[in-house]
Amino acid sequence: MLFIGAVRHSIVYLKKSKMNWSAVNCGGLSKNYITGRMREAMYGNFGTVLFVNLNSRRIESENFAPNIYRDYLGGYGLAVKMLYERMPAGVDPLGPDNILGFTTGTLVGTPAPSGLRFTVSAKSPLTGTWGDSNCGGYFGPALRSAGLDGIFIRGSSEQPVYLFIDDGRAELRDAGHLWGKDTTETEDLLKQELGHDVQVACIGPAGEQLSMIAAIIHDKGRAAGRSGLGAVMGSKKLKAVVVRGSQEVPMADKGRAKELRRKWVKALLAKPSAQKFRKYGTIDHVASSTFSNDAPVRNWVGVGVRDFPQAELISDDRILAYEVKKYACWQCPLACSGYYTVREGPYAVQNAHKPEYETCGMFGPNLLNDDIESIIKINDICNRAGVDTISAGATIGFAIECFEKGLIRAEDLDGIEPTWGNHAAIMQLTERLCFRQGKAGELLADGTRAAANKIGHGSEKWAVHVGGQELPAHDPRYGPGWGTYYVVDATPGRHTQGGQNSYENGKGIEGLALPKLQKYRPENRGEVAVRTHNIFHALHSLGLCRQVLLRMNINAWLEFLEAVTGEAYTLELLEKIGARIGAMRQAFNLREGIPVTKITIPARAYTDPLDGGPLQGVVLDIETQIKEYYEYQGWEPETGRPTRSRLKELGLEALIRDLY
């Protein structure tokens, strides 16, 4: 282990020592204390973690032993280690005892392509399970450049505050003037106050009002959208976390890391799939995913080629036509996003963020809405309010179906009469949902499960969520692998886990040789399902972007890790780290009493076949997939518990007492 070596570490130490944390007063409210507990000298490129208590307004810094980073890397790996150990089971997700983590990752702020994401973690108010969500932009690198690997926030403030991290200093500041502002206004005001070189992650009115599908928004349009974590921020009266970071992230061998970047970016950009992604980003397949019915159509019972043949109107070049400027996350070679302007008409908007595939899917085919301008505008409304567009689109679809079937009436929706494809009504309803306005807002602001509970009359069966979280625009009948992760991942209903689908599709992750899967055979998938899930847990925890991960040779990350940390990693080691992270997330849910083996996918996305199109008649046997997943993972299929021996193997002996 090179961590313990002398020369390099002393150099790192010297660099890092410049970033020691100092106590600062909290502007106008009360004292904040930062108590540096320098338990060990800093190693490798790892830095400091802040613990903020909003009850006591105390801010402490802590430097972990290197084995913490070695065993959990960063991202939700580091977060699950902290939250599992430092938070009791059974806390109210919207109460003061929930811990909200902002973490980066080992490769964030380094030359590793897409090493830029930050992850927000907490117990999810939407699902009651482990919750995490990650986000691009500039916030993650800024946090690292401020010398921090993560921030964990507990307690709740009586008055609105924001946390300001300023290159080695941290303070809580009054946010009374920001409360009620949307995320764009908030960011503009904060930059006016603090300078334009700060990065902001904040909530909008949705998070303030504890909407369970509230997101955390950075850079006015990058979202940590899922798991309802915006509501956790809102419950703490924490309007924003603002960071200025100007230090260089320490690296074992910076020259080597830069050299590797040149090599791997060249390899990446030589790939047609990367070139296409660079042009379109995720919107290149709105139409094709509608025609394949990977995207839900008409709240999951429609058939794209039959019911929404006009999908091309909201895909590819039809969206790109509104791009006025490209947007790249911090140093990302793919630069998949952009600023979008609709010049006139009811959906006019200036420099809005580009809607992603998920947004187009959930507000397009899912609602039979072929008006791309309305989707650009709706995306901006959701970003401003701070709402997850996946859950919002799903909820609107659910509402339209309930309206169509007479379970809710116009008078329940403030006079709005939503019908499939009626984009004017869809936008009106989305605005109310986002800002919890009127009867419609109250009914819909917390997502489909809450809405179905209010509406009753069997409407639950049209509410397409898993464990409370709305499904994204990926049908498990199209990609059976989605189905496994929708159920087994600690954040139910998530589509950004594992890599099973790529092995179904006959390609796989470059450099990770695993058996080819037969797309509709539920058997013999355990190995691929588990091993890709685990290795992606590790890769996500490094702070990398999934879109780059899926297009790069996996061995690249080993090279970057060595250059950055000075330590040799192997794929086997990453897999084991990922298995540890996964087991701990699972243990988190088990300790919470979540009936993990009872989580199911709604029938209309699973066992009720579509009546036309390419998926006509397809139903799945996800039980078999899940059973095999559990078996290969070393988790008991009956209870979902990691076995004692598996826990020991992963160095998680401490969890045995909790689970057995």
Contact in structure between 277 and 113 (CB atoms under 8 Å): no
Minimum CB–partner distance for residue 609 and its own copies (Å): 5
Of 22-30, 51-59, 288-296, 650-658, the window that binds its own copies (rule: CB under 8 A) is: 288-296
Among 167, 185, 253, 312, binds its own copies (CB under 8 A): 312
Among 249, 517, 650, 652, binds its own copies (CB under 8 A): 517
Among 262, 263, 343, 521, binds its own copies (CB under 8 A): 521
Of 102-110, 305-313, 339-347, 590-598, the window that binds its own copies (rule: CB under 8 A) is: 305-313
Q: Is 507 in the site for its own copies (CB under 8 A)?
A: yes
Alpha helices in 73-138 (DSSP H): 75-86
Q: Is 524 in the site for its own copies (CB under 8 A)?
A: no
β-pairing verdict for 216-218 and 222-224: antiparallel
Q: Is 515 in the site for its own copies (CB under 8 A)?
A: no
Nearer to its own copies, 247 or 288 (CB): 288
Of 247-255, 284-292, 540-548, 570-578, the window that binds its own copies (rule: CB under 8 A) is: 284-292
Of 107-115, 244-252, 304-312, 442-450, the window that binds its own copies (rule: CB under 8 A) is: 304-312
Q: Is 571 in the site for its own copies (CB under 8 A)?
A: no
User: Which residues does 569 contact at the CB level (< 8 Å), separation at least 6?
Assistant: 557, 558, 561, 562
Minimum CB–partner distance for residue 335 and its own copies (Å): 23
- Residues 282-319, buried b or exposed e (16+ Cβ, 10 A)? bbbbbbebbbbbbbbbbbbbbbbeebbebbbbbbbebb
In order of 125, 182, 649, the CA distances from 652 in angstroms are: 27, 43, 7
Rounding to the nearest 10 degrees, give the CA dihedral for residues 32, 38, 42, 48: -20
Terminal Cα distance for the chain, rounded: 33
Show the tokens assigned to 499. Answer: 């890599």
Q: Is 288 in the site for its own copies (CB under 8 A)?
A: yes
Q: How far is CA 270 from the centre of its chain?
A: 28
Q: Residues 576-615 vs its own copies: string with x where CB under 8 A?
A: ---------------------------------x-xxxxx
Among 8, 326, 519, 646, binds its own copies (CB under 8 A): 519
Rounding to the nearest 10 degrees, give the CA dihedral for residues 531, 532, 538, 544: 170
Nearer to its own copies, 203 or 319 (CB): 319
Among 524, 570, 616, 645, binds its own copies (CB under 8 A): 616
Total of residues contacting its own copies (CB under 8 A): 33
Show the tokens assigned to 570. Answer: 């192997």
Q: Is 355 in the site for its own copies (CB under 8 A)?
A: no
Minimum CB–partner distance for residue 478 and its own copies (Å): 6
Among 191, 258, 306, 439, binds its own copies (CB under 8 A): 306
Nearer to its own copies, 349 or 618 (CB): 618
Of 160-168, 503-511, 526-534, 536-544, the window that binds its own copies (rule: CB under 8 A) is: 503-511
Among 129, 293, 532, 597, binds its own copies (CB under 8 A): 293
Q: Is 628 in the site for its own copies (CB under 8 A)?
A: no
Of 32-40, 131-139, 514-522, 632-640, the window that binds its own copies (rule: CB under 8 A) is: 514-522
Nearer to its own copies, 13 or 520 (CB): 520
Minimum CB–partner distance for residue 294 and its own copies (Å): 7
Among 189, 301, 335, 618, binds its own copies (CB under 8 A): 618
Q: In the range 462-481, which residues lie near its own copies by CB under 8 A? A: 478
Nearer to its own copies, 363 or 503 (CB): 503
Identify the bridge partners of residue 123 per DSSP, sorted by sequence position.
Answer: 130
Of 78-86, 126-134, 298-306, 325-333, the window that binds its own copies (rule: CB under 8 A) is: 298-306
Among 10, 55, 505, 524, binds its own copies (CB under 8 A): 505
Edge to edge, the sheet with strand 349-353 lists: 323-327, 337-342, 349-353
User: Which residues does 487 contact at the CB level (< 8 Å), separation at least 6?
Assistant: 466, 599, 600, 601, 622, 626
Minimum CB–partner distance for residue 600 and its own copies (Å): 17
Contact in structure between 57 and 30 (CB atoms under 8 Å): yes
User: Which residues does 596 contact at the CB level (< 8 Å), separation at least 6?
Assistant: 586, 589, 590, 639, 640
Nearest to 385 by CA among 191, 241, 207: 207
Of 4-12, 153-161, 286-294, 542-550, the window that binds its own copies (rule: CB under 8 A) is: 286-294
Half-sphere exposure of 608 (CA within 13 A, CB side): 12
User: Which residues does 373 contact at the CB level (< 8 Å), separation at least 6?
Assistant: 322, 342, 345, 346, 347
Q: Is 621 in the site for its own copies (CB under 8 A)?
A: yes
Q: How far is CA 398 from the centre of its chain?
A: 23
Q: Is 253 in the site for its own copies (CB under 8 A)?
A: no
Nearer to its own copies, 306 or 546 (CB): 306
Of 57-65, 98-106, 163-171, 512-520, the window that binds its own copies (rule: CB under 8 A) is: 512-520
Show the tokens assigned to 252. Answer: 């074992």
Q: Is 246 in the site for its own copies (CB under 8 A)?
A: no
Q: In the range 254-273, which residues lie near its own copies by CB under 8 A? A: none
Cα 605 from Cα 607, distance rounded (Å): 7
| Strands (E) located in 532-637 | none
Among 371, 489, 504, 628, binds its own copies (CB under 8 A): 504
Nearest to 497 by CA among 513, 518, 481: 481
Contact in structure between 194 and 169 (CB atoms under 8 Å): no
Nearest to 429 by CA among 407, 453, 408: 408
Edge to edge, the sheet with strand 216-218 lists: 170-174, 161-166, 238-244, 199-202, 216-218, 222-224
Minimum CB–partner distance for residue 270 and its own copies (Å): 18
Q: Is 304 in the site for its own copies (CB under 8 A)?
A: yes
Show the tokens assigned to 43. Answer: 């190693």
Question: What value does the CA radius of gyration of the chain take, rounded to a whole number of Å?
Answer: 23
Q: Is 382 in the site for its own copies (CB under 8 A)?
A: no
Interacting residue ranges for its own copies, rule: CB under 8 A = 287-288, 291-294, 304-306, 309, 312, 478, 503-507, 517-521, 609, 611-619, 621
